[in-house]
Amino acid sequence: MDWKLLASTYGAIFMAELGDKTQLATLALASGKSRWAVFLGSALALVTTSALAVLGGDVVGRAIPPHYIRRGAGALFIVLGALFLFARPE
């Protein structure tokens, strides 16, 4: 097992998920209801979406060389960052 990859993946996903709308929805669902049911349901949902992402990444990785995927992702982040930076507030 690649422990460095495991740790960096955990850190990236943890920071990305912290305070997002999924966490806020989970917080709302857990207020006044069965916390264990909400915890297990949200954990299963995250595991399922992660499994789909890994399977999708495997399929895409077989068809497109990884350096193109990294470049495309980097370009997409730059474009989205520019759009958010220069977007006019409504």
Cα–Cα dist 19/62, whole Å: 33
What pLDDT score does 89 carry?
Answer: 76
Nearest to 27, CA basis, from 17, 39, 16, 15: 39
Chain-centre distance of CA 68, in angstroms?
A: 20
What pLDDT score does 44 carry?
Answer: 96
17: confidence class by pLDDT, cuts 50, 70, 90: confident
What pLDDT score does 52 carry?
Answer: 96
Using one digit for the tens of pLDDT, what is the confidence trace for 43-83? 999 999 999 999 998 999 999 998 999 899 999 999 999 99
DSSP state of 69: H
Of the chain, the end-to-end C-alpha distance in Å amounts to 48
